[in-house]
Amino acid sequence: MLRYTVKRLLQLSVALLGLSLLLFAWFKALPGGPENQLLPENATDQQREALRAALGLDEPIWVQYADFLGRAVRLDFGSSLSSGRPVATELADRLPATIELSLAAMLIAVGLGIPLGYLAAKRRGTWLDFTAVSGSLLGTCIPIFFLAAMLKVVFAQELGWLPTTFRLSAGADYTDVTGLRVLDGLITGEFDIAWDAVKHLILPAIALSSIPLAVIVRITRASVLDVVGEDYVRTADAKGLKPSVIRGRHVMRNAMLPIATIIGLLLGSLFAGAVLTESVFSFGGIGSFVYQATTERDYPALMGFILVIAVFYVVINLLVDLSYGLLDPRVRVRS
Amino acid sequence: MTQTRIEKLDRLIEASVSAREAQTGSLWRQSFRRLKRSPMAVTGGIIVGLFVVVAVLGPFIAPHNPTAQTWGNEVFLNRNVFPGPRAENWFGLDHLGRDMFSRMIVGARQTLLVGVVATLIGFVAGAAIGGVAAAAGTFGGRWGERLEAVIMRTVDVALAIPMLLLALSVAALLGPSLSTVMIAVGVAQIPIFARLLRGSMLAQAHSDYVLAAISLGVPKGRIVVSHILPNSLGPVIVQATLVLATAIIEAAALSYLGLGNPDPGSPEWGTMLADAQRFLSGAPQLAIYPAVGIIVTALGFTLLGEAMRESLDPRLRRQE
Amino acid sequence: MRTSPTPVRRALAAAAGAALAVGLFTACGSDGDTGGDADTAEDFDFSCPERTDELTEDLIDTEANESQPFVFGTPGDPTSLDPILASDGETFRVNRQVFDTLLDADCTDTVPGLAESFEQNPEGTEWTFHLREGVTFHDGTALDGAAVCKNFDRWANFKGGFQSPNFTYYYSAVFGGFAENDPAMGIETESIFEGCTADGLDVTISISQYTSSFPGAFTLESLSIISPASIDAVADVTIPAADSPLPEYTQTVGTLAGTGPYMLEDWNHSEQEVTLTRFDDYWGEPAKVKTLIFKTISDETARRQALEAGDIHGYDLAAPADAQALLDAGFQVPIRGVFNLLYLAYTQSHAPLENHAVREALSYAIDRQRIVDSVLPAGGMVATQFIPPSLEGYSEDVPTYDYDTEKAKDMLAEAGAEDLTLTFCYPTDVTRPYMPAPKDIFDIIASDLEAAGVTVEARPITWVEYIPTTRSGECPLYLLGWTGDFADPYNFLGTWFAAPSTEWGFDNQEVFDSIAAANTEPDAEARVDLWKTANEAVMAELPGLPISSSPPSIAFAPNVYPPDVSPLTREDFSQVSFTTGS
């Protein structure tokens, strides 16, 4: 096991190094120097030249790469072109919003997805099954930015039930503990803040949950079907155990393993959806930061984000692989 | 999504291997017969068929020139004046006074083109990488194994980056254009195809008929090219169908992020949808037409792909 | 209240023109000839539309003003709380409420700021300001001439990264350079700042060479005056390189003190919210609303929805369609004067654009009125020359080109350019205040040109590449524009037509000379005529087609009294009040 872990870690560091090289090459190859973002359109050529020279891009390329790598390891991704603040600070400031949104979306996806998937499996071949499956397929087919915008137009703009933007009403006097506003409100006893935050969360969370919900419904359905077909469930059935016992002790417990794995991994993947959702709702998390960075071609910000996300994913993947190894000896053997 | 994808890929590989190993020969035919009975496959097939017909015939059946601003003087986008459906313009006018119906019909072709080319790019490059990795791992000795490990771990890392971000990085590099969207979305699919083909080939490599061929002394290269590769393509084709749907949606998202096809000469649904977001509250129809087009088409490809996957998957089969 | 600026500007020009004349400031009083409805294009005042509503005592909702924050939605975050390090509108917007400049702008006129009046020598190289009495900084110190000089000396002696145009773009744009130019920052021009002397409340700023940037440059938000104690507090701060992050003191409140109607209370980066609170010892009319919040909502649709939902009380850069919908729904959308210019460039290095007749033909082919009517916000107008009408030197006698497709075809045929193919560049990923929808404008122009028989090859370019590409002369046709920084025609004409350039590709000494003559003329009255001549020379050359000037839209909730809107987007939020009933 230890050897396996070390081997995986080594392979991963090589892969990460490769990725950093790719990212650096990408950054170097990007069109348009930063001076074009930093200066107004009628700045003189001389001013542009001055800035280009001052940004010091005349070092040998390997020195630049080493510098880039050294800084990246220290989480120094340079400063954002649009705000002038260090990219790492910007990311850290906005992370809690995205975490809160992702958790809320996941709550919806899990809370609805597992029961739906289970029911679909139990009633396989019925209309309920068909609706759940095609509904979940439909969920993956709606462009998320369109879904988010429609939700906002209908429920916030036309019906006025929920707020349109932000995480809290402007000027709300909240106490920052964890950065998750709902949680903070509950911890400090400011229930009106918590409720305000919940209202602001609902629409973006629903939009963001569409894809994980679809995935969870289908995975749950497939896992339950798998487990139901296993011999031990048939045995239990034949033994005449009560259906509720079979469901609880045998079917769901075993079906949960793949579902739980998926949930952990989906949480990370929500970032991509958050880019689109947050921009629609001006949610002020990492997502809207990246959206802004993209539209303004704020490359240092983008690069910092991609690097952080890549490392995040790689670590999660590693942990998942390792836990598989621990749980299932066959994996170790196969590797 | 990563793990979902990986799991699905693995399952697909197993499915195709067991299909192959059953060696009944009629199994593919059997799968096809099962497909015909599946409502999912039939629905998906009809949608995809219709879409392809429109895409091919679009320019010939469109009632108006989709790019001519014929009714430009009737639209005032700064005052929310967008004439709706009428006898001459079935879907009304877009924000520059062009016929929306014609734009939808003609736009189908570009949309299909984006999906197909993106998928092809992902498929070809991914298959090459996966194929090299598998071949090296199987027949390349110790160094081959190392090469395979490095390739596959890099693919894993790439697979870990959200597809949209990967596409976004590529699009930022190439500047906005139609080919950028195709390349960006295509590149994002490379790791999927690479992993799929490599896994599929490895599974074939360890199957009995390959072992038999090796023991008979058939040259390794020939085994790879004439036995392993063709037999590994089944799951890849299924995946390609699913990727087509994703590609169409991703292309729309890229357009929304301002990295899409900016060429007004050729209407394309993703660009139209992204463009129309500006007018969502004043003229939602401008967004709804392309949105419905994209959703229905993506659903068609997804239904078809999922149905094909199920018909290949023995685990799902046996419960019937 | 708002009037046409012309008479006032003339008065100022005439006064300043006389040798050693005192700069007389007439408060922007009514000149009586712009009353009534402004429905038709002819009597609509494009420079500064007149304001019809008035805030009477009984309308003010004092209770709301004291208890409720006024929330204004901005398209982006500010960058720096140190005004000298700012060069973007969002930062200006915040700093304008907190800091004051020597001179201020009303409409596009230069009016008193911290200085009640000023005078210049005939050469325009010595500028003496008479400061107001009784002005206090937020930290309690009183404003005097020494405090002002301390600011100018600080700027002139910036070192290292502080000199980079990334941080101090406007200072070096106005003064050329620094006392000791840091070679690493690439600025090679010499500083024209010679020194600052103070005598009580009088300050004299000496420059080595007059340019028409003065006195307008003294209204620039970047050149806001901060307290001497603040300067001491940040004296040791350094910026090592041009791409260093902004210093920490610019990101948190509490270091810098200004003299404005509001004080900085908090900048919450994660909520993207800047909170200001009223400064009770403000030298002018104190702010009506106690708490003012600027909150970033980057998506324009989201800003509109937030206003409609009551989440915010006003926002800037409303999409033209949204502005109309908001107006219809009872919201307030006061129209700003125009102070920008969108143009289509004809790069003459590409044949046959060097042919004057071809350029004329293309100009006739384009329906600029349709762009103004259907794409641009209310208050937009077709441009006839390369400056907006609110500036001195705007000429009524330039050649104009009315939309006429047939004439365009004929002229092209005569010039032997019937089957003309032209590449047409436009930016893809931005909206600019002068160009709310680049692609729509491109589409309309392209379709007009096609109608005249020109084949247009679209070339979309991302914004980061757009400026260098068009500058290098690669694009035969391209869209670009500019929003003025302050009232100075050179700020428009000079950057484009002062010398031969690849972006225009023409060499017409008459044009260059006419601009140089106007720019260096310290006599204001003579300068107006010189600028007119320059505008006529430019339009005779026809280097490009001026398309439009259009104001960016700003919107407010029904229950507030909005500030006077400004063509320079210099809104003073201390005028804002919540109102009772309606």
pLDDT value at residue C29: 34
Q: Which residue has the higher pLDDT, B68 or C128?
A: C128
Q: In terms of Cα–Cα distance, which of B303, B188, B166, B311 is closest to B241?
A: B303
pLDDT at B263 (0 to 100): 66
Q: What is residue C24's predicted lDDT score, i.e. its pLDDT?
A: 36
Q: Which pLDDT score is estimated for A280?
A: 83
Beta strands (DSSP E) in A199-252 are none
Asked whether the predicted pLDDT for residue C31 surpasses 70, the reply is no
Task: Scan residues 50-109 of A and list those with Cβ closer than 8 Å to C.
Answer: 50-56, 78-79, 82-86, 89-90, 93-94, 96-97
Q: Which residue has the higher pLDDT, A172 or A56?
A: A172
How confident is the model at residue B271, as a pLDDT?
A: 85
Residue closest to C141 by CA, chosen among C152, C150, C129, C130: C150
What's the confidence (pLDDT) of residue C357? 94
Question: Residue C233 pLDDT more than 50?
Answer: yes
Mean pLDDT value of segment A185-196: 82
* AA identity, residue C313: H
- At A327, list the tokens: 């749980």
Query: What b-and-e string marks burial along A87-109, b requiring 16 or more CB atoms within 10 Å of the CB?
Result: bbbbbbbbbbbbbbbbbbbbebb
C-alpha distances in Å from residue C111, one per residue of B258, C133, C340:
42, 17, 20
pLDDT tens, C293-305? 999 888 788 888 8
Residue C18 has pLDDT above 50, yes or no: no
C470 compared with B318, residue with greater pLDDT:
C470
CA B297/CA B108 separation, integer angstroms: 10
Q: What per-residue confidence (pLDDT) applies to A335?
A: 41
pLDDT of residue C28: 37
Instruction: Return the higher-pLDDT residue of B251 and C265.
Output: C265
Calculate what percentage of chain C has a pLDDT beyond 70.
91
Chain A positions touching C168 (Cβ under 8 A) are: none
- Domain range list for chain A: 1-74, 87-332
State the pLDDT at residue A139. 84
In the prediction, which pLDDT does C480 show?
93
The pLDDT score that the predictor gives to residue B292 is: 93
Backbone φ/ψ region at A328: left (φ over 0), alpha (ψ -120 to 50), beta = beta
pLDDT in tens, A55-99: 555 566 777 788 878 887 887 887 787 777 888 888 888 888 888
pLDDT band at C542 (very low <50, low <70, confident <90, very high): very high
Poorest-pLDDT segment among B59-63, B165-169, C166-170, C220-224: B165-169
pLDDT of amino acid B283: 83
* CA-wise closest residue to B55 among B259, B255, B267, B227: B267
For the cut 80, the answer to whether the pLDDT of residue A322 exceeds it is no
pLDDT at C273 over 50: yes
Name residue C295's beta-bridge partners. C73, C273
For residue A264, the model assigns a pLDDT of 64
Peptide bond into C399 cis (omega under 30): no
Chain C touched by A221 (CB under 8 Å): no
Q: Is the pLDDT of residue A136 over 70?
A: yes
**Which one of C366, C376, C462, C463 makes the best mutation probe of the B interface by having the most chain B beta carbons within 10 Å?**
C462
Least confident of A276-280, C251-255, C328-332, C464-468: C464-468
N- to C-terminal Cα separation, chain A: 11
Query: What pLDDT sits at residue C193?
Result: 94
pLDDT: which is higher, C36 or A177? A177
Residue C8 confidence (pLDDT): 31
- Predicted confidence at residue A42, as pLDDT, reads 64
Candidate ranges A265-269, B233-237, C273-277, C324-328; pick with highest mean pLDDT = C273-277
Average pLDDT, chain C: 86
Question: What is the distance between the alpha carbons of residues B141 and A266, in angstroms, rounded to a whole number?
Answer: 37
Interface touch B39/A143, C-beta < 8 Å: no
pLDDT in tens, C369-425: 999 988 898 888 999 999 998 888 899 999 999 999 999 999 999 998 888 999 999
Of A15, A26, A228, nearest to B157 by CB-CB distance is A15
- Is the pLDDT at C330 greater than 80? The verdict is yes
Q: What is the pLDDT of residue C42?
A: 43
Q: Name the burial class of residue C330, with classes exposed (0-12), middle (13-18) and buried (19+) by CB atoms within 10 angstroms of its CB.
A: exposed
Task: Report which DSSP code applies to C503.
Answer: T
> What pLDDT does B51 receive?
92
pLDDT score for B240 = 85
State the Cα–Cα distance between residues C445 and C451, nearest whole angstrom.
10
Q: For chain A, what is the mean pLDDT?
A: 77
Q: Which CATH superfamily is domain A87-332 in?
A: MetI-like (1.10.3720.10)
Mean pLDDT of A141-154: 88
How far is B253 from chain A, CA to nearest CA, in Å? 7
pLDDT of C389-399, one tens digit each? 888 889 999 99
Contact assessment for residue A147 and residue A207, using Cβ atoms and an 8 Å cutoff:
yes
Find the CB nearest C301 among B77, B263, B280.
Answer: B280
Report the 10 Å Cβ neighbour count for B50. Answer: 14
Calpha distance B61→B102 (Å, rounded): 8
- CA–CA gap between residue C24 and residue C11 (Å, rounded): 8
For residue A152, name the pLDDT band (cuts at 50, 70, 90). Answer: confident
In C, what residues contact B, Cβ < 8 A?
A: 300-301, 304-305, 319-325, 370, 373-378, 428-429, 437, 439-440, 442-444, 446-447, 458, 460-462, 465
Q: What is the mean pLDDT of residues C473-490?
A: 90
| A19, A262, A275: residue with CB nearest B3 | A262
- Residue C161 has a pLDDT of 87
Is residue A60 exposed (0-12), middle (13-18) or buried (19+ Cβ within 10 Å)? exposed
A287 touches chain C (CB under 8 A): no
pLDDT score of C283 more than 80: yes
User: Quick check: C467 pLDDT over 90?
Assistant: no
Distance CA C215, CA C120 (A): 9
> Is the pLDDT confidence value at A252 over 80?
no
Q: Name the DSSP class of C287.
A: P
Round to whole Å and give the CA distance between C215 and C103.
8
* A261 contacts B172? CB cut-off 8 A: no
Q: Looking at residues A144-148, what average pLDDT do you find?
A: 89
Q: Do B161 and A306 touch (CB under 8 A)?
A: yes
**In the predicted model, is pLDDT for residue C44 greater than 60?**
no
Stretch A38-59: mean pLDDT: 64
Burial group, residue C369, by CB count within 10 angstroms (0-12, 13-18, 19+): middle
**Is the pLDDT reported for residue A247 higher than 80?**
no
C344-361 per-position pLDDT tens digit:
999 999 989 999 999 999
Chain centroid to Cα C364, Å, comes to 29
Q: What per-residue confidence (pLDDT) applies to C534?
A: 95
Please report the pLDDT score of residue A66 as a whole number: 82
- Indicate whether B254 pLDDT > 50: yes
In the structure, what pLDDT confidence band is assigned to residue C10 with cuts at 50, 70 and 90? very low
- Give the model's confidence band at B243: pLDDT under 50 very low, under 70 low, under 90 confident, else very high: confident
What is the distance of C-alpha A226 from the center of its chain? 28
What Cα–Cα distance (Å) separates residue A310 from each residue in A90, A307, B313, C521?
A: 18, 5, 32, 60
The answer, yes or no, to whether residue B305 has pLDDT greater than 50, is yes
pLDDT for the residue numbered C568: 86
Q: Provide the shortest C-alpha distance from residue B249 to chain A (in Å).
A: 6
C165 → closest Cβ in A51, A90, A281: A51
For C243-251, what is the mean pLDDT? 87
If pLDDT is split at 50, 70 and 90, which confidence band does A21 have? confident
pLDDT at C16 over 60: no
Q: Do B77 and C374 touch (CB under 8 A)?
A: yes
pLDDT tens digits, one per residue of C109-138: 888 999 999 999 998 899 999 999 999 999
CA dist C572 and C484 (Å) reads 18
Which one of 3.40.30.10, 3.30.365.10, 1.10.3720.10, 3.30.413.10 gives the CATH number of domain B34-61+107-313?
1.10.3720.10
Minimal CA separation from A176 to chain B, in Å: 30
Q: Would you state the pLDDT for residue A289?
A: 82
**How many CB atoms neighbour CB C42 within 10 A?**
6
Q: Does B69 touch chain C (CB under 8 A)?
A: yes
CB within 8 Å: C443 and B77: no
On chain C, the residues whose CB falls within 8 A of the CB of A38 are 165-166
List CB contacts (< 8 A) between C445 and chain B.
Answer: none
Q: Higher confidence at residue C322 or residue C196?
A: C196
Q: What is residue A328's DSSP assignment?
A: -
pTM: 0.79
